């Protein structure tokens, strides 16, 4: 179906009201859940084809999180969708006030290639739960998963309700020329700016889930061995192709050598002495990104790793030493299995560095000092993060996930997903049996006294 006609058909379908009943939303989510469970093996195969992910990692980081999001919305969505009574000020006597949730309408979800199943489905689940129609544009880089998503939704819903648009830049451009009621984009800062520019033509609200250079700080009080294990997990998961991966490491100079030693041990324990022979260790998505990441290692001091398999687009978990803020690897988001290490003497150096750069999507700090923790949290702005761990703050429906500043705007997961795709109407219902005359002209001193008494 032509893109313009597809979007038009979704607008027409939304106007029928078919997506508004809570029962219809729940039924759609149940269908989606059943389809995911039925096709779990095919999903894992697609993720393996695109990124070399193991079945375990595919379930842990994609399928399992999606199913958790569906269960949350099924459990709570009916309550979220109900109008909510709120307090009415005395000046509006006699009246009742309530907030009424309504879906935006037709939503565009543009997803990336690095977690192509989870980062597509999570926002789609929120959009469906809120009662919207959805056009999905998955990434052309993760072709196997994108094809599977197209087949999955074609077998579940009519295109007027949920449709997948395959393709690359031409399709992205065509979609952004259409009038949507909401756009949800996950991807790079550069493309995010374009999405926002296009959306502004129709005053379409947007959520932008972007990225940036997320810092990981380890102070002299940290449990170094455990910190190393958790940093290695977060950094090398999905071969570093994670928007919230620790991008660089800032470690107190007094414990740098010890931490690097533990990081080497953690890499060996997790991935073996020869990680490139580990079948569960994935690959870079394509040749372009492989060459870019390899270029970031050129001329740098390699403390661990550095091996590559060009024919398989694989790069071993790597640690770089003697890094400065001016190093090439510090000038862009890495999005690969390379961990640059810098040292500091005083925590203020870390705070000053982070604050002098675009606000990151994630922030990780390993410490046992409450004072150090409070100091950095009071100084640094970021989307979300962890104290004494990495990555896991996004794997919960209890907290919103999103960026700030250059790392994005808006949030989702759990209740935040429903809220993102919902417009909340504020409504006052006034009684007819009484009508206070204060607001009406002619004004006089008596009315002013009464006005001041009500609004005091």
Distances (CA, A) of 401 to 123, 184, 258, 394, 420: 11, 13, 33, 6, 11
Token pair of 117, please? 């199943």
Catalytic residue status for 448: no
Distances (CA, A) of 25 to 39, 155, 242, 371, 451: 21, 17, 31, 47, 46
Catalytic residue status for 243: yes
| DSSP state letters, 259-315 | HHHHHHHHHHHHH-SSGGG-TTS---SSHHHHHHHHHHHTTSEEEE---EEGGGTEE
The structure tokens 């970021």 sit at 382
Which of the residues 57, 62, 69, 209 is marked catalytic?
209
CB 81 within 8 A of CB 417: no
CB 251 within 8 A of CB 343: yes
CB 230 within 8 A of CB 263: no
| DSSP state letters, 77-103 | HHHHHS-EEE---GGG-SEEEEEEEEE
Which of the residues 61, 216, 243, 386 is marked catalytic?
243
CB 289 within 8 A of CB 255: no
The residue among 189, 70, 199, 175 whose CA lies nearest residue 127 is 70
Residue 252 phi/psi, 5-degree rounding, is -60, 135
Query: Catalytic positions, please?
Result: 209, 243
């Amino acid at each position: 179906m032509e893109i313009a006609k597809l979007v038009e058909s979704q607008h027409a379908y939304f106007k029928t009201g078919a997506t508004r009943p809570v029962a219809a939303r729940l039924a759609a989510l149940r269908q989606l859940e059943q389809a995911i469970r039925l096709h779990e093996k095919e999903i894992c195969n697609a993720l393996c084809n695109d990124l070399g992910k193991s079945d375990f990692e595919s379930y842990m980081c994609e399928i399992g999180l999606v199913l958790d999001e569906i269960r949350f919305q099924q459990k709570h969505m009916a309550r979220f969708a109900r109008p909510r009574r709120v307090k009415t000020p005395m000046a509006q006597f006699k009246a009742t006030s309530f907030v009424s949730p309504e879906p935006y309408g037709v939503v565009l979800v543009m997803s990336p290639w690095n977690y192509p199943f989870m980062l597509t489905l999570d926002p789609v689940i929120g959009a469906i739960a809120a009662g919207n129609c959805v056009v999905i544009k998955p990434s052309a880089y993760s072709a196997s998963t994108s094809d599977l998503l197209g087949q999955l939704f074609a077998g579940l819903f009519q295109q007027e309700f949920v449709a997948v648009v395959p393709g690359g830049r031409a399709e992205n451009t065509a979609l952004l020329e259409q009038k949507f009621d909401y756009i949800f984009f996950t991807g790079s800062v550069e493309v995010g700016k374009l999405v926002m520019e296009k959306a502004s033509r129709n005053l379409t609200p947007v959520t932008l889930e972007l990225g940036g250079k997320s810092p990981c700080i380890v102070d002299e009080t940290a449990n170094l061995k455990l910190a190393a294990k958790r940093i290695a997990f977060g950094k090398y998961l999905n071969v570093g192709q994670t928007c919230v991966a620790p991008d660089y490491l800032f470690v107190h100079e007094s414990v740098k050598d010890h931490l690097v030693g533990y990081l080497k041990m953690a890499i060996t324990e997790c991935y073996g002495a020869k990680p490139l022979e580990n079948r569960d260790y994935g690959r870079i998505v394509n040749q372009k990104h492989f060459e870019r990441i390899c270029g970031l290692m050129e001329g740098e001091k390699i403390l661990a790793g550095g091996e590559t398999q060009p024919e398989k687009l694989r790069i071993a978990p790597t640690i770089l030493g003697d890094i400065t803020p001016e190093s090439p690897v510090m000038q862009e988001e890495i999005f690969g299995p390379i961990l640059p290490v810098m040292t500091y003497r005083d925590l203020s150096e870390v705070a000053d560095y982070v604050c002098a750069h675009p606000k990151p999507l994630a922030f990780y700090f390993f410490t046992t000092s409450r004072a150090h923790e409070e100091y950095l949290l009071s100084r640094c702005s970021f989307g979300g993060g962890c104290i004494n761990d990495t990555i896991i703050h996004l794997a919960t429906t209890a907290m919103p996930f999103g960026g700030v500043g250059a790392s994005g705007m808006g949030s989702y997961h759990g209740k935040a997903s429903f809220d993102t795709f919902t417009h909340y109407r504020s409504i006052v219902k006034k009684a007819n049996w009484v009508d206070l005359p204060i607001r009406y002209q002619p004004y006089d001193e008596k009315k002013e006294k009464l006005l001041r008494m009500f609004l005091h």
